Amino acid sequence: MKMQNKQERREKILLGLERNYKKLLEFKKQKNSVIVILREGKIVHLKP
């Protein structure tokens, strides 16, 4: 696989992950449920 194809694929994957993250945050706000993240090796629950 050429380097340019790998770079394009990587950019598309990162864009998709970013869009999915935004949709997740919107969903959590609508449902008023907590967001669970890992911060400094500890599990943290955040309210949207």
Quick one: pLDDT at residue 2?
78
Quick one: pLDDT at residue 11?
96
Quick one: pLDDT at residue 48?
78
> Which backbone phi and psi does 46 adopt, to 5 degrees?
-120, 140
33, 47 contact by CB (below 8 A): no
User: Alpha-carbon distance 47 to 31, whole Å?
Assistant: 11
The full DSSP string for 17-29 is HHHHHHHHHHHHH
Quick one: pLDDT at residue 1?
62
> Could you give the percent of the chain with pLDDT greater than 90?
85
pTM greater than 0.75 (yes/no): no
Quick one: pLDDT at residue 30?
94
What is the number of residues in the chain? 48
User: Alpha-carbon distance 34 to 12, whole Å?
Assistant: 28
Q: What is the mean pLDDT of each run of 10 residues along the chain (48 residues)?
A: 86 97 94 94 92
